[in-house]
Amino acid sequence: MLKIAIFYTGLVRTLESTIPYIINFLNNKNYLLNHEFSFFCSFQSDNDNEKMYINKLLHNNFENKIKNITWIDRNDATWCDLSNKLVDNIHIDAWWKNYLKTSGSMIEYYQMYNSYLNMKKYEEENNISYDYILRLRTDVVLKDEINFNVENITNNEIEQILKYAQEKLNKNTFINIDVFNYFMNTFMIPNRLSYDINKFSISPINENIYNNIFTVLDEINTTLIDETDKENKFIEILFNYIQKSDYLITLRNNVVYFGKAKVFEKIHKLGITYGFYKIIEEPVYWFNSESQLTGICRENNIGYYSSVSQLEDNSLYNYNATNYFDNNTLLEDQYSFFIKRN
């Protein structure tokens, strides 16, 4: 039985309207048989009545799955002191400093940090450990099943995904970095394989990982002659990578992200180290929330994989309910998630 911790974080203004779809997501037959989900919530509100209502709503809908609810508002003394110290060390214009303190950029990771600490406390008190962690925003609807059973994936299944990606990307072989990236962005969410690759945004992963993969590819090509032997060797290497290595799978950079619990052991500290990380791809806005998550992954040698479809991206700034719903029923289309704006 896989134990999955859900870090449920954010403002609660749309939470009531997204809960039915979380219930639907968790009622997957495979999940019910083989997974145990627990919620560690870190919410933002300064309204006592709202807090009481949300507490009751969550317990009524998820019963014993709710393990902890922590409330944080922008006037919280601990948060104010921490955010001031972090921003003081970020050398940017005053307007951006104020933006970081008043937007969700920094506080979202502080919420994730709190959820992690509460999860660790629960683990110690109950002598258990979680296998995977899913960070989910309160305004997000998650449609597609996530395959957390990575340990059970077979070489044959890996080969099928690689060949599918090879054909979609029009490559001569699947022993290819682009195919590797495509594989990593889709193998845990099978539905994404069928989505339009032109709508994917694949972010660079840690250079050390790239260099290791390139070295392996070179060794395969120089030491093996038979193409089938090369492919089998690559599948074996990829199998070992997804079983043993640290990586974070993200949807639209930091809207939804998930990985092994040991990965969050390293990245949860972003909640108290925001602004410490820079990436060369974003020299101007290196301090934004997406770049900071990428940065802490690289700092800790964690593979970082991000993808987004057009419908997913549209929900951030051009939300239109008819793109995702037929009345209250989710449409089957090229999206794994969307941000529900009302």
Domain harbouring 76, CATH code:
3.90.550
User: DSSP secondary structure string, 125-143?
Assistant: HHT---SEEEEEETTEEE-
Domain housing 280:
2-143+251-339
pLDDT score recorded for residue 120: 98
Could you tell me if 178 and 36 lie in one domain? no
Could you tell me if 180 and 54 lie in one domain? no
Hunting for tokens 């990593």 — which residue is that? 184
Handedness of CA 234, 236, 237, 242 (dihedral sign): positive
What integer is the mean pLDDT of 94-103? 93
What integer is the mean pLDDT of 97-106? 93
Could you tell me if 78 and 177 lie in one domain? no
Strand duo 247-251 + 66-72: pairing: unpaired
pLDDT score recorded for residue 43: 97
pLDDT score recorded for residue 314: 93
Mean pLDDT (the chain, rounded): 91
CA atoms within 13 A on the CB side of 282: 16
Angle value at C-alpha 81, between 41 and 261, nearest 5 degrees: 35
CA distance 245 to 234: 15
Could you tell me if 172 and 311 lie in one domain? no
Q: How confident is the model at residue 137 (pLDDT cuts 50, 70, 90)?
A: very high
pLDDT score recorded for residue 210: 60
Percent of the chain with pLDDT over 90: 73
Could you tell me if 58 and 174 lie in one domain? no
Could you tell me if 201 and 267 lie in one domain? no
Angle value at C-alpha 159, between 158 and 165, nearest 5 degrees: 90
**Residue 148 maps to a domain:** no
What integer is the mean pLDDT of 125-142? 98
Torsion of CA 201, 141, 58, 267, to 10 degrees: 0
| pTM score, whole prediction | 0.94
pLDDT tens, 292-315?
999 999 899 898 899 999 999 999
Domain count, the chain: 2
Could you tell me if 174 and 40 lie in one domain? no
pLDDT score recorded for residue 279: 87
Percent of the chain with pLDDT over 70: 93
pLDDT tens, 172-221?
989 888 888 899 999 999 999 989 855 454 444 555 666 666 676 677 76
Could you tell me if 137 and 260 lie in one domain? yes
In the predicted structure, residue 284 carries a pLDDT above the cut 50: yes
What integer is the mean pLDDT of 164-168? 93
pLDDT score recorded for residue 202: 46
